[in-house]
Structure 1
Amino acid sequence: MQTWLADLQQLLAHGDAVVLVTVARAEGSAPRDAGTKMIVTRDATRHTIGGGHLEWKAIDTARKLLRDGMRVAHLRRLERFALGPSLGQCCGGAVVLAFERLDIGDLGWVTTLARRLAHGEATVRSVAFATTASAAEAVLLSEPEAGAERADCLLWDHASASGMSANESANASALLTETLVAREFAIELFGAGHLGAALVRVLATLPCRVHWVDEPGAAFPPDDMLHAPDAHPDLHFDACSDATQAVMQAAPQSYFVVMTQDYMRDLALAECILRRGDYAFFGLLGSYARRQQFEQRLAALGIDPMQIARMQCPLGIAGIADKAPESIAIATAAQLLQAYETHEPGHTASAAHTTTRR
């Protein structure tokens, strides 16, 4: 689940009123893309739309809506910010921010959206903004058009050509539609030592699902991770006597990371992963010398040399020499993100796409 949606669901379920802030449109250079979200409560914020003076102004506007919304149902507004002239930020572009006051009455559509995304179902969320009573319309969820299941955020502005000022136009009749997709990618992590634990802690901050595997009796998960109040909701532990079975049961296009403490187990896992061939990423912990040993052993087992060449060993992006578990974890997480964005080239660009309709 996308982290902003999980947080929104939790806050509303506890009876808190919040304002959901969305970058509805990004014009020119802007700190975050369209579709980026922030949640503002009476005394806290979660997530970010880019920081700086823009975010300060957004929080101030959101808290005014929290107060005013106690008397007006479904209070919403759009506001355009020129980043250079009015806010003194160096980006130089402009953004239109959408503000939606939500309370427990919105928990229904939020829960439905969370459930759909958890099942991998792309969903279009439509929100009306207007100066008339139509602004009180409920948030609508619908199926995306066939073939249009990439993340997108569109602001349909019906008054942009009417000669209004920027903020007058922004608050006239408009419709925000965004296609939300399950962006999480599936990571199969083998090895529950210090490195595995450090990597899981980093991955907990990223949009991924982690299946963490080690043999029965392994000292995992660590107590502090298992009982943490903010435990990763998409982390699943698996004490498995035959780890190769976990490889065979993994979904196609999974991201495999092998870092157990047993050479022969690593070799068996590498053979099984490479024979599948339908993985998005395979990384093996080890030095260049270990890679050479594995290349020879895997070739002797009859593995296709082109598959062996796909094996990432040593793990992690280049240029980080420190061998502390935390450093290796950060370098590995960065490499996984690089692989994901290469494997899914449309997911970032499509989320930034914006348009205006008359």
Structure 2
Amino acid sequence: MQAWVTDLQQLLAHGDAAVLVTVARVEGSVPREAGTKMIVTREAARHTIGGGHLEWKAIEIARQVLRDGMRMSHARRLERLSLGPSLGQCCGGAVVLAFERLDVADLGWLATLGRRLAAGASTVRSVSFRSSRNGATQTDSDVGAVLLSEPEPGVESPDCLLWDTGAHTGSHAGANTHANADETTLLLTETIAPNDFPVVLFGAGHVGAALVRVLGTLPCQVRWVDARDAAFPSPEAFAALGASNVAIDANDAPDEAIDAAPPGTSFIVMTHDHSLDLELAERILRRGDFVFFGMIGSHSKRKQFEHRLAARGIDPLQIARMNCPLGVDGIVDKSPEVIAISAAAQLLQAIEAAAHAHASPVQAALPHSA
């Protein structure tokens, strides 16, 4: 699930209005990629589009859109901001930010989007904006509804595109633009994909517990498996972790979690038993459709396992995919917390590589002015 969807649903259900800020287009070096989102209310801001003066300016504009919403309920606005001396940031690029005022009337499409993401389905969200041809910004309520649709066949990866529809109109009353400026309709279309990657973690020892604390902060769904029920934290201690994306599985047959995992799962093995590690490794490698497989241990453990797995008929190319020792190179500290951070970093590298390998082709560039 995309966290901003859940947060917006909770805010709007309580009767609050909010502005959804989207990085609609990027030019050059910028802090965050197109499609990144932030939610702004009268009192607070959630998530981030990159911090610094850019974010401060975005919050200021969003609150102006909230005030405009007192007379136009679905105010929308586009702003192009350069990340140079004017904003005191040295990135040197520019971003076009899209601002959408949302209220309880938007719960319908948000609920539909949330259900689709929870079911693992990508969704195209389309939102229209008006912009003056001379580059002046404006706030407008005379715009269409947010539309959700199915992605094109074979296009499931997230993307974000702001493009000129070619539809032009004269200026109209209420727009914050020059009186005689023609306007064009711009369309923001973004493919919103589920961003929770599945992880199966074997082992509830000190390192496993430390890794759960890290994974609990990441966009993943974790199945935490160990045959020893007593090894897991107490319900009170587990609740205190705040890791709502982690499910405990005290299972006498931990290999069942391998068979039940969806394709593209990442597996991390750090049990108290080397013989169990070997059994799990064999089952994972025979399956083969994982994104990442890491196992805690030394170089000598890896050598032993390579020989034993090869003797069991595992293809050497598959064995080479096993990350053991676990963690990024150059970190030698063996404390549980350090190992956990190093392992999580290595896992994220694999997730990023898999995402880039399946990314959709780059779409056509957009007009420079918004």
Change (3 A) 1:114 1:282: same
Partner Cα distance (1:245, 1:339) in 2: 24
- AA paired with 1:218? A
State the distance in 1 between where 2:296 and 2:64 align. Answer: 51
TM-score by length of 2: 0.87
In structure 2, the partner of 1:142 is 149
Q: Is the 8 A contact 2:29 2:94 kept in 1?
A: yes
Name the counterpart of 2:292. Answer: 281
Number of residue pairs the alignment of both structures matches: 353
Does the alignment pair 1:218 with 2:226? no
| 1:206 to partner: Cα distance | 2.1
With 215-224 and 255-264 compared, the bigger mean Cα shift is at: 215-224
Determine helix, strand or coil for the equivalent of 1:145. coil
1:23 corresponds in structure 2 to: 23
Matched position secondary structure for 2:343? helix
Structure 1 residues 117-138: Cα deviation after superposition (integer angstroms, max 9, x where no partner):
1111111101111369763422
The one of 329, 345, 349 aligned to 1:338: 349
Q: What is the rounded CA distance, in whole Å, between the counterparts of 1:354 and 1:327 in structure 2?
A: 43
Structure 1 residues 27-78: Cα deviation after superposition (integer angstroms, max 9, x where no partner): 1121111101111122221111111111110011111222221332111111
Shift of 1:255: 0.8
SS in structure 1 opposite 2:318?
helix
The offset of 1:221, in angstroms, is 4.4
1:205 aligns with 217
The one-letter amino acid paired with 2:258 is V
> Residue in 1 aligned with 2:116?
116
User: CA 1:85–1:348 in 2, change beyond 3 Å: closer, same or farther?
Assistant: farther
Secondary structure in structure 1 of the residue aligned to 2:188: strand
Aligned to 2:314: 303
Task: Supply the distance in 1 between the matched residues of 2:183 and 2:342 (Cα, whole angstroms).
Answer: 44
Q: What SS does structure 2 have at the residue aligned with 1:38?
A: strand
How far did residue 173 of structure 1 move? Answer: 2.4
Shift of the 229–300 alpha-carbon distance from structure 1 to 2, 3 Å rule, reads: closer
> Displacement, 1:80?
0.7
Aligned-pair CA distance for 1:269: 0.8
What is the CA deviation profile of residues 226-255 of structure 1, one whole-angstrom value per residue up to 9, with x for unaligned ones? 3249542x3222111101111122222211
Query: Is the 1:34–1:354 contact (alpha carbons within 8 Å) kept by the matching residues of 2?
Result: no
**Structure 1 CA distance for aligned equivalents of residues 196 and 364 of structure 2:** 23
2:280 and 2:242 mapped to 1: Cα distance? 31
Which range moves more in the overlay, 296-305 or 200-209? Answer: 296-305
Residues 335 and 133 of structure 1: CA distance in aligned 2, closer, same or farther (over 3 Å): closer
User: C-alpha distance in 2, partners of 1:261/1:255?
Assistant: 20
Q: Indicate the residue corresponding to 2:61 in structure 1.
A: 61
Deviation of 1:187 after TM superposition, in Å, equals 0.9
Q: Structure 1 pair 10/197, CA: closer, same or farther in 2 (3 Å)? A: farther
Greater relative CO, 1 or 2 (CA 8 Å, sep 6+): 1
Distance in structure 1 (CA, Å) of the matches to 2:294 and 2:331: 16
Q: How far apart are the structure 2 equivalents of 1:349 and 1:55?
A: 28
C-alpha displacement of 1:225: 5.6
Contact 2:203 2:224 survives alignment (8 Å): yes
User: Following TM superposition, by how much is the alpha carbon of 1:332 offset from its aligned partner in structure 2, in angstroms?
Assistant: 0.7
Q: Cα–Cα, structure 1 residues 63 and 26, in superposed 2: closer, same or farther, change >3 Å? A: same
Q: Secondary structure at the match of 1:264?
A: helix
1:269 correspondence with 2:280? yes
Name the stretch that deviates more: 204-213 or 216-225.
216-225
Paired position in structure 1 for 2:88 = 88
- The structural deviation recorded for 1:204 is 2.3
Aligned residue type for 1:69: G
Greater shift, 46-55 or 217-226, is seen at: 217-226
Contact 1:288 1:313 in 2 (8 A): yes
User: Residue type of the partner of 2:71?
Assistant: R
AA aligned opposite 2:262: A
Q: Is 1:324 matched up with 2:340?
A: no
**Superposition pairs for residues 93-172 of structure 1, below 5 Å?**
93-130=93-130, 135-158=142-165, 172=184
Aligned CA RMSD, in angstroms, stands at 2.8
Q: Provide closer, same or farther for how the CA distance between residues 347 and 17 of structure 1 changes in structure 2, counting only shifts above 3 A.
A: farther
